[in-house]
Amino acid sequence: MGYSEHGGVWYNKNIFERGICLMSAYNLSSLWDKFLTFSTTVIDIVVIWMIILAALRIVRGKSSTMQIFKGIIFVIIVDVLAKVMNLKTLQFLTNMFIN
């Protein structure tokens, strides 16, 4: 039937080998999933960082652009506060600007 002795313990060789293959396939799959999650997180952070850096370079040079940028940031902050405080009318108005 395929019984072998290993370290004084008898085991079914077919079941043992299949178990090893399943475990290593599971570990590789789990490792690959963790790698994908990590790499997409890193890529997401780098892309956002590059967008913010580019926006700051554009804004820094011109005073009128800086005023527009401050206005956009103000509307976003007011929108977040309106959502947190559940202020429906203010949410409606800020959504008109954002959307």
Residue-wise DSSP of 22-61: HHHHHHHHHHHHHHHHHHHHHHHHHHHHHHHHHHHHHHHH
Tell me the pLDDT tens digit for each residue of 55-94.
777 777 667 777 888 888 888 888 999 899 988 888 888 8
pLDDT score of 60 = 73
Residues above pLDDT 90, as percent of the chain: 2
CA distance 72 to 28: 46
> Which residues, 6+ apart, have CB-to-CB distance to 83 below 8 Å?
91
Q: What is the pTM of this model?
A: 0.42
pLDDT score of 65 = 75
Residue 7 has pLDDT above 70, yes or no: no
CA distance 79 to 1: 71
